[in-house]
Structure 1
Amino acid sequence: MPAYHSTFLVEGADDRVIGNFAVLPLKTKFRGPAYPCSDDYDILDEILDLFRANSFFRNFEIKGPADRTLIYGILFISDCLNKLKPTTPPNEANKILNTLAVEHFTIPGDASFPLNALYAPPRDRTEADTLRSYLTQFRQELALRLISRVYPNGEKVPNKYWLAFTRRRFMNKSLS
């Protein structure tokens, strides 16, 4: 059974690519370079929907730039879940994940980026700054949406079915 790929693989005129990383529209309230999404379903919803299913796969065939965005999002969710403990309350989880989202991180092309074999570096400094801004916005919104899934209906402890995936490593990789 093959892994699930992004439905945003078809490149349109409004899709931007930096290196070979797709800069897709987002539904977000955070400021950044992402275009506002006109649909109710964006790449972040897709990442959250496909995270648990794709976590079981060690191999993933990349079919386009949107798949690279999907990979980055899945690996970021893994890092987020590894920061949470079974007794972490939602307010503290929000602080932890928001800090993780905005703290210094590497981008494709940096020497310490763990996935440089899969991602092409940005062409110049302007593209690198745009990609870093986009990824900050991307990470903030993804962390916020993850909180609403891990703590459904105002629960005080994280959902055990989400925390069970802290032991799974998608593609045997990690962003940290």
Structure 2
Amino acid sequence: MPAYHSTFLAEEQQANNRVIGNLVLLPFHTKFRGPTFPPDQEYDIIEETLDLFRANSFFRNFEIKGGADRLLIYGILFISDCLNKLNKTTSVKDAQRVLMNLALDDFKLPGDIGFPLNNLYLPPSGKNEADLLRAYLQQFRQELSERLLTRVYQGEEDVPSKHWLAFTKRRFMNKSL
């Protein structure tokens, strides 16, 4: 059974979607400042990443079909890091603080030494593209961590969902950010 791919592969060719290296900067709904803009539809790449995380985390191999799949991979690996951090917290306030710190921490870009997926991602072509990619990925990480919290702490305020935390031991593609 193959892994689930992004439904936004067809949309990455649109004129308003920017491509840096081989990663497409898809629009998503957000309340955080950054370079993205809201899409025309309600369903965005962040919702898709959250929906496909649990199913795709069982796969060790993933055939990349485009830039949207690369963004999906990055999001899945970031969710894994978030869940590993949430495994040690109990309250929603602590989880918000931990995940926001993780989202705002300094992170490696494709092409940087220490980026775990350099063989799959092309580096930005210049400093302006690198700055744009860093701002986009930071906004992506912030919104993804915010929406992940609403799913993990859906029912009770102080108890994270065991159905999400069960995936802390899974490693998608045997990688982590």
TM-score range, shorter chain: over 0.9
Q: CA deviation at 1:153?
A: 3.1
Q: CA deviation at 1:154?
A: 4.3
Give the aligned CA root-mean-square deviation in angstroms: 1.0
Which amino acid in structure 1 is aligned with residue 28 of structure 2? L
In the alignment, what sits opposite 1:2?
2
CA contact (8 A) 2:87 2:168 kept: no
Whole-Å separation in 1 of the counterparts to 2:144 and 2:111: 23
In the alignment, what sits opposite 2:77?
75
In the alignment, what sits opposite 2:102?
100
CA contact (8 A) 2:89 2:95 kept: no
Whole-Å separation in 1 of the counterparts to 2:157 and 2:32: 25
Structure 2: unaligned runs, 5 residues or longer: none
Q: Find out whether 1:39 has 2:41 as its counterpart.
A: yes
SS of corresponding position for 1:165: helix
**Percent of residue pairs identical:** 66
Relative to structure 1, the CA distance from residue 14 to residue 151 in structure 2 (aligned partners, 3 Å threshold; closer, same or farther) is same
In the alignment, what sits opposite 1:51?
53
In the alignment, what sits opposite 2:111?
109
CA contact (8 A) 2:34 2:136 kept: yes
CA contact (8 A) 2:110 2:118 kept: yes
Matched pairs, number: 175
Which of 159, 162, 166 is equivalent to 1:160?
Answer: 162
Q: What TM-score comes out, normalization by structure 2 length?
A: 0.96
Whole-Å separation in 2 of the counterparts to 1:7 and 1:135: 20
Runs of 4+ in 1 over 2 A off after TM superposition: none
CA contact (8 A) 1:17 1:23 kept: yes
